[in-house]
Amino acid sequence: MTMANEDTNVVRALRGLTNESSSVRLRAALAVGTAPDPRCVDELVGRCAVEPDFQVREMLTWALTRHPAALTLPRLLGELRSEHAQARSQALHTLSKIGDPRAWPAITPELMTDADDEVARSAWRAAVVLVPEGEESAPAGVLATQLGRGGRETQLSLSRALIGLGAAMTAVLSAAMSDPRPHVRQHAIATEKLSRDPDAGFDFALEEAKRVVALGPGGQEE
């Protein structure tokens, strides 16, 4: 393929990423990932911040993983400081897929406690993937401060992240089970139950936890 043809293909793909049709955008992201080109990295990252379609965002992330981390990491790390929640969330998601340990210092407590649930959830997943072996207690401590947060999906994401940190979750869950706030105790107990019996499912573990908290230490309803 000639240089002129390569340039034409890049221009066509980049134009397709902003097409009104989500199917066209999806094919464009697939094309960029299939034939990675450094000239596309900035546009891929920028598009992640505004792309409304979930499947297209997933394809954009995949396309970025096909490019050298030396090119993608600096751009993605810059997105973590964006004022736009989707930019932060998708950058975190992509960093977790790339899995380069050099991104770990950027997974800050501020991101893991971000006011936006999607950003926080993405940060939790990234923390599990990127934390160096032996340093799991630090993110576990931060994640424990989020117990009881949000609805079912957010709580399930947090439970999975804590479980993903392995033994580091034990001490923080034990402490949270004595928290004065019932919803925090419930989530901690449910997470511990889920870690012991993942096949039972989160909903079952949460209902069991609610019963434990309702009965209280003396076995009476609170």
39 belongs to a structural domain: no
Displacement of CA 75 from its chain's centroid (Å):
18
pLDDT at 214: 87
173-190 per-position pLDDT tens digit? 999 999 999 999 999 999
- Tokens 């094309």 sit on residue: 31
Q: Compute the average pLDDT of residues 19-33.
A: 96
- How far is the C-alpha of 54 from the C-alpha of 65, rounded, in Å? 17
Q: Is the pLDDT of residue 6 over 70?
A: no
48 belongs to a structural domain: no
For residue 103, the 8-state DSSP code is G
At position 60, the amino acid (one-letter code) is L
> Residue 31's closest CA among 45, 10, 47?
10
58-99 per-position pLDDT tens digit? 999 999 999 999 999 999 999 999 999 999 999 999 999 999
25 belongs to a structural domain: no
Cα-Cα-Cα-Cα dihedral sign, residues 54, 60, 63, 64: negative
47 belongs to a structural domain: no
186 belongs to a structural domain: yes
- How far is the C-alpha of 178 from the C-alpha of 152, rounded, in Å? 21
Q: What percent of the chain has pLDDT over 90?
A: 86
Q: Report the SS3 class of residue 75.
A: helix
Q: Which residue has the higher pLDDT, 6 or 1?
A: 6
Q: Which two tokens stand for residue 86?
A: 């989707």
pLDDT at 8: 74
Q: Is the pLDDT of residue 217 over 80?
A: no
**Residue 194 belongs to what domain range?**
138-222
200 belongs to a structural domain: yes
Per the structure, the count of domains in the chain is 1
197 belongs to a structural domain: yes
Q: What percent of the chain has pLDDT over 70?
A: 95
- Can you give the pTM of this predicted structure? 0.90
Q: Is the pLDDT of residue 27 over 90?
A: yes
Residue 216 banded pLDDT, cuts 50, 70, 90:
confident
Q: Is the pLDDT of residue 5 over 90?
A: no
144 belongs to a structural domain: yes
- How far is the C-alpha of 63 from the C-alpha of 79, rounded, in Å? 17
